Structure 1
Amino acid sequence: MAQQLAQGGLTGAAKLKAVTDLINSLTQDLSTSSLGPRERDAALDELKVYARDPRNADPIFVKEGIETLSKHAFDGSSATTSRNALRCLANCLLVKPSTRNIFVDLGYPEKASIKLTTAGVEDEFLISRIIFLTTYGTSVNLQNLIDQHHLADAILQNLTRHVKLWTGSSGSSFKAASQDPMTDMALTETAKLLFNVTHFCRQKVDSFTPAIALIVTLICQHALPQPKPLDPPLGSLVNALLTLNLASEQGAAALFPKANPAALCERLIQVLDKAVRSYPDRELDTAVLPLITALRKIYELAPAEGVQRVMQAKLLPTTKDRKKVLGKGQSLASLILRHTTNAMAPEFSKAVSHMLFELSDKDATKFVQNVGYGFASGFLFQNNVPVPESVQESFQASEGGRQRAVNAITGQFIDKETAPELPEMTDEEKEREAERLFVLFERLKSTGVMNVENPVARAAREGHLGRDVIDGKDRVEELD
């Protein structure tokens, strides 16, 4: 079936001949201008379709084919031809990783970086993706692109354009920006490129520090993707924030602007609230984990009496949560607390636990009081954090100016605890339970570990089998 219809309508030898003829025609055109503008663009458009499937398309993916496409993309005079060639190149580098080193060896990342400084939105998308792909498995010199070919300037310039689109300072409304899918696609590729460049070229990370303020603005101003708020471009922007020098003076000023120091953390917490309600467990480790990492970084750098207090108030259980056993409600604090034991998302679970511990000033006693010993104990044990003996004792928490006792294990107000509501057992059920208990105690006696009197046998002897024992009024006593 796969061979019946390939991209472009041709398969096998027919497709190979068509690809060969197109590459030869486009190569000759570079020196003789043998094709008119429409013929050239039509040839590139047809070649782009064939390049989506590398089978029977070898002439596109060898050095000569990549060089021909690169020359049309970066050395031609027509913007339309350049864009069509860029589309072909982006496809080639995506589906055939071996072409990335060919592109690098031909010296075209340098030309791509320079072209990115004058790119419109669609070219921003294509060129950013092409450079991004060259950061994997090639010898590309990112420092040279930054120092000599204006890569950092181009990325900052494009981020600035997106900020203007979303804040309306460019004369365009955010509504218009949100209705153009290419705008978000371009922003996503720029954010991904920024992340990779700063990840693989740490020595030049300070060249991108101005991007922090731009990304903060975009995170706060950009509409949240629906239904999953960390889908592109928001998730890509959060990722890009993580590799920048947030601890620098300029970075701190961008994270905590004087006008509203808590704006970014409040926005990220809003995103987290929506994310934990919309992403399935299997996606938390990839989609939502970077958001937790960002919140932890922000908390570490935040002013203690301002932003840190805001984050504690919004992410730790409140007195309202303590009306139930902690983790049983539907507040954000309850939801993330439940995820600390989520075996389906182990990395996310671990990161959330660390965040809650950090929000508790890395103090074991505060941590237990904040989340309950039931949730805290596993984290403290796994991380070799000494547990004070007093943490399992009830403590007092303030609500409305008065002190109320709290169960240290569950985190619930003691005066809100209720006995479990169990249905009354029938006589038949009591007899079955008595038989089960009899067998269990006989097995225990046979081990020789301890000498115990079987309470079921004693109940039968005393004439109240099925009543006191099953009702929980009898006690097992260890005998000498």
Structure 2
Amino acid sequence: MTDILRSYTDLSSSSPRFQVAAVLQSIINALPLTFDQSTRAALVRLLLRDLRTSSSKSRLFHKDAALALLALKTLGRIPVGSEPLTEASSLRTLMELSSSLYKDDRNASSEALKCIANTLLLYDYARVTFISKEVGGGEFCASLLEKATTSEQLFTLSRIMFLATASPSSLILTLVEDKRHGRTIIDVIPTKIDMVLSSVLANKAFARDAMSELLKFSFNLLLHYPKLYGLASPSSRGQQDFQSSNLDGLLPSLLRVYRSLPRTFPIPLVPPLTHAIHALVTIPITHSLISLWLSTTRNSTSRQLRSSHTPRPRSSSTLDRALNVFTAGRRSLSISSNSPASMVGNSHRDIVVRTMDLLEIVFSFHFPSNSNPDSREIREAFKNVLAGSGMSTDTSLDELVSPLLLLCTRICMMDHTSRKRVREWIIPPSLDRSYPLDERDDFLGRCIRLLGSVYHTRLKASVGEMLYAACDCDPSILSSLVGYGHVAGFLFNKGILSAPPPPSTDPHSSQRVVNPITGTYDTMAQNGMNNSIVEMTEEEKEIEMDKLFVLFDRLDRSGAPPTNQGKAVHSTVKSKRTPK
């Protein structure tokens, strides 16, 4: 709208401040499509120039900066016309404003950073400009991140750092390897995570958002740095997998977040927990880290965080009902006698328990009872819950749950003890196999039904890999425990084209024979037919013999069996029917 542009250009240093505020407020309140491309671009350039030269002799004074930056942020939310914000000079101006206004006007300083964050979100190429030597935005925000003390500051700065590290670049190497004030970014992030975690548990504003952005930033470092390190390190060239201990410092804080975050409604698996899982699955399994992964000791930070947590009041929901079922029927792996429901919201001592608790709750919530995972009702229910959760409507169950299954798979790969615990939790030695496994309403039944899913292809593969890892990556053990018929498709995709031989040691504790195809008790047990014949009376044997005689007589007349064989069988049956 040219009227607003004209009103702004008519302002001068002698204009009353209320008039300046009114014009800026009109920009803020304008509808998104009020300005065309040229008008929006002109306003953006004017605001940037006036903010850069703000003084008592310019159109904008220092005290107008907060409102002017808010107007600039509002204009920058629409890509068409806000391209001037992507220029190096504009990004430098916003950085300088954030730094100069920090002491006198924290709100104005924050608005300048939000303008940068919005620009990097809307324009991919602006991220390259931002981290270039000409601008130096990455190092600038890393220094501010180290000084940040509030969740709102950490949210904005972490969002900027997440966007700035979305693609591999030399900035990531600099952040991880170069020290600022004696610390690298790997030393800074854990302290900020612990700071925000206490705010999350206390339900403070911006805390969950700040935690999500911190974890996403950590994920980028974990994802990109190993390869960049391998390319930059002469000793690592030629290797396909690059590992570096420079990132090890992130693991303890990520585990604290994963163990401590309380459950959420209505969906049990939402950010920032999902981001913690994404970050954890990128950390390699090395001998030096296994002790940290499997540590059952709660450190002092966890105790302090729990003491500051005020439990939320319970509300009736589908998740509560799932938890009730889960608590009643769960085979606990925990050393303590606490139920899973009472453990949720506290720091779990054991990552195996935490992971299996989450899997049980998530599967019970999204695939209730013994429902078909491919049914329309399941998909519609997920869409309805997703709509009220604030998560992206493009999110699928595959995207949401598969990383948790992948984390469980990695836990199984760590050591034999964890693998055995997971296997016996899913398929306990005392499992009742008297009815089909794919009709069970527990975690095992849901996994088996997902193995036959057509709609959830990624989830199907993730479930198969988890079961395979829990069974020592041995197809014979897997087939014997759940039945080859249920895993035939999964094993076929792994290049195993036929039923594997039985394992050298019987994994079943029951003395009853288990059908190798279905995984249930075999109704025709070994020697079962002979035993039934022995238990028959003489009269019953005669009746069965008559039936056989009639059948063979029909075959003999039809000419189906060979002549010699037919006569031999006929004479044998007839001789047995003749009383001695």
TM-score (norm 2): 0.63
Contact 1:132 1:196 in 2 (8 A): yes
**1:442-463 C-alpha deviation (Å, 9 max, x unpaired):** xxxxxxxxxxxxxxxxxxxxxx
- Equivalent-residue separation in structure 2 for 1:308 and 1:207 (angstroms): 28
How far does residue 332 in structure 1 lie from its aligned partner after superposition?
A: 0.9
Contact 2:480 2:507 in 1 (8 A): no
How far does residue 309 in structure 1 lie from its aligned partner after superposition?
A: 2.6
| Residue equivalent to 1:199 | 223
- Equivalent-residue separation in structure 2 for 1:95 and 1:69 (angstroms): 16
How far does residue 180 in structure 1 lie from its aligned partner after superposition?
A: 2.5
Structure 1 residues 153 and 411: CA distance shift in structure 2, 3 A: same
Contact 1:163 1:214 in 2 (8 A): no
- Equivalent-residue separation in structure 1 for 2:561 and 2:51 (angstroms): 97
How far does residue 54 in structure 1 lie from its aligned partner after superposition?
A: 1.6
Q: Give the aligned residue type for 2:411.
A: I
1:131 aligns with 2:161: yes
- Equivalent-residue separation in structure 1 for 2:94 and 2:524 (angstroms): 72
Contact 2:514 2:522 in 1 (8 A): yes
**1:206-230 C-alpha deviation (Å, 9 max, x unpaired):** 2332321222222111112322222
The structure 2 residue matched to 1:89, chosen from 87, 105, 116, is 116
1:226 aligns with 2:265: yes
**1:162-212 C-alpha deviation (Å, 9 max, x unpaired):** 34456xxxxxxx3x2xx2241111111111111111211113852332321
How far does residue 317 in structure 1 lie from its aligned partner after superposition?
A: 6.2
Comparing 182-191 with 347-356, greater Cα deviation is found at 347-356
Contact 2:479 2:500 in 1 (8 A): no
How far does residue 325 in structure 1 lie from its aligned partner after superposition?
A: 0.8
The structure 2 residue matched to 1:289, chosen from 402, 426, 446, is 402
| Residue equivalent to 1:239 | 278
SS of equivalent residue, structure 2 residue 401? helix
| Residue equivalent to 1:446 | none
Paired residues, what number? 401
**1:331-381 C-alpha deviation (Å, 9 max, x unpaired):** 011111211222222222122112212211222222111111111222222
TM-score (norm 1): 0.75
The residue correspondences of 1:174-193 to structure 2 (distance < 5 A) are 174=201, 176=202, 179-193=203-217
1:107 aligns with 2:136: yes
**1:456-480 C-alpha deviation (Å, 9 max, x unpaired):** xxxxxxxxxxxxxxxxxxxx99788
Structure 1 residues 31 and 140: CA distance shift in structure 2, 3 A: farther
| Residue equivalent to 2:516 | 408
| Residue equivalent to 1:69 | 94
| Residue equivalent to 1:161 | 195
- Equivalent-residue separation in structure 1 for 2:508 and 2:187 (angstroms): 53
Q: Which runs of 5+ in 2 are unaligned?
A: 1-29, 230-242, 298-334, 336-347, 367-377, 380-394, 526-557, 563-580
How far does residue 62 in structure 1 lie from its aligned partner after superposition?
A: 2.6
Comparing 59-68 with 98-107, greater Cα deviation is found at 59-68
| Residue equivalent to 2:485 | 374
Structure 1 residues 258 and 267: CA distance shift in structure 2, 3 A: closer
| Residue equivalent to 2:471 | 360
Contact 1:87 1:126 in 2 (8 A): yes
Q: Give the aligned residue type for 2:136.
A: G
Q: Give the aligned residue type for 2:72.
A: L
Structure 1 residues 137 and 38: CA distance shift in structure 2, 3 A: same
Q: Give the aligned residue type for 1:88.
A: C
Structure 1 residues 210 and 396: CA distance shift in structure 2, 3 A: closer
Q: Give the aligned residue type for 2:117.
A: A
SS of equivalent residue, structure 1 residue 414? coil
Contact 2:186 2:250 in 1 (8 A): no
Contact 1:156 1:208 in 2 (8 A): no
- Equivalent-residue separation in structure 1 for 2:188 and 2:77 (angstroms): 28
- Equivalent-residue separation in structure 1 for 2:559 and 2:282 (angstroms): 62
Contact 1:365 1:387 in 2 (8 A): no
SS of equivalent residue, structure 1 residue 29? coil
| Residue equivalent to 1:151 | 185
